[in-house]
Amino acid sequence: AQSVTQLGSHVSVSEGALVLLRCNYSSSVPPYLFWYVQYPNQGLQLLLKYTSAATLVKGINGFEAEFKKSETSFHLTKPSAHMSDAAEYFCAVSDRTGTASKLTFGTGTRLQVTL
């Protein structure tokens, strides 16, 4: 069974500062990994995905993530935070088994961006 750990349920950064949201996973097979963002009262929007191609993945809104197999990590970064980045972020791993490749989500990290 796979699992996802997101370290830090709340992260606060200043506008213009580096954003780093941590995600560690466990999986019995080479994983597919995803980051989603959720704005208030909305569904989840895909930020980026890792599906065993390049280990450094670029997504929307200037975000990127690096797959590190040795560390079982898939941390999300953005060089310079913007006020509009304030949202909740979820990391997810796909089990890649069975008929539906089910996702397991982390518990989320709420990002606050301050002036």
Phi, psi of 5, deg, nearest 5: -120, 125
Q: Which of residues 81-110 bind other proteins (CB under 8 A)?
A: 90, 94, 96, 99-103, 105-108
31 binds other proteins (CB under 8 A): no
Q: Which of residues 54-73 bind other proteins (CB under 8 A)?
A: none
Query: Regarding beta strands 109-114 and 87-94, do their DSSP bridges make them parallel or antiparallel, or are they unpaired?
Result: antiparallel
Q: Could you tell me which stretch among 18-26, 28-36, 61-69, 72-80 binds other proteins (CB under 8 A)?
A: 28-36
Residue 24 C-beta: closest distance to other proteins, Å: 14
The helix or strand, by DSSP H or E, that contains position 108, with its residue range, turns out to be none
Q: Are the beta carbons of 22 and 73 closer than 8 angstroms?
A: yes
CA distances from 1 to 27, 46, 106 (A): 7, 23, 14
Cβ closest to other proteins, residue 17 vs residue 44 = 44
Alpha-carbon gap, residue 36 to 82, rounded angstroms: 17
Query: Which residues form the interface with other proteins (CB under 8 A)?
Result: 9, 32, 34, 36, 41-46, 49, 51-52, 90, 94, 96, 99-103, 105-108
